Copies of this chain bind each other. A is one copy, B any other.
């Protein structure tokens, strides 16, 4: 690690500020901000890496489509919006995902006899078979995503992510 000249010697911001600032931060935020250390950037990069591993190991479906199919197989017949809530997709997003799953005959829609607004989504035989066939690969993808971490670190990461909600 080479010697780092501190920002305070490089950036004249702290000197050239005769008046008080309009926000609540004591130091020069622009100088302190490091993109590579922000949690949002690290989350985005980790997600990108995961999705890359996913598509390499499971090309039949996207990660989102697999999530919807898996949850639907887990829950059984579910309305479209309810499936969206269970998979963290808003109504507009789950619509597109469900459409693409239906176009491939992995899912069908049945009108709800009680509530005429609703349509149940139901996995087809082909959908259940594909899920059963791919579940192993999906588990392997999770393992591979966490491969850089030790067993204890994996557990820690998952619990911290869950805690962040």
Q: Which residues of A contact B (CB under 8 A)?
A: 23-25, 28-30, 32-35, 37-51, 54, 63, 67, 70-71, 73-74, 87-88, 131-132, 135-139, 141-142, 145-146, 148-149, 153, 156-158, 160-165
Contacts and interface: CB of A to CB of B under 8 A. Distances in A.
Given A34-B74, A40-B47, A46-B161, 18 more contacts: A23-B136, A24-B136, A28-B132, A29-B139, A30-B131, A35-B67, A35-B87, A39-B142, A39-B146, A40-B63, A43-B46, A43-B161, A44-B47, A46-B165, A47-B47, A49-B164, A145-B164, A148-B163
Contacts of A48: 88
A25 B87 CA distance: 25
Q: How many copies does the complex hold?
A: 2
A33 B130 CA distance: 14
24 contacts: A23-B136, A23-B137, A25-B139, A29-B132, A30-B132, A32-B139, A33-B135, A35-B67, A35-B71, A35-B87, A38-B138, A38-B142, A39-B161, A40-B141, A42-B161, A42-B162, A43-B43, A43-B46, A44-B88, A46-B164, A49-B164, A153-B160, A157-B157, A157-B160
Nearest to A45: B88
A7 to B, nearest CB: 9
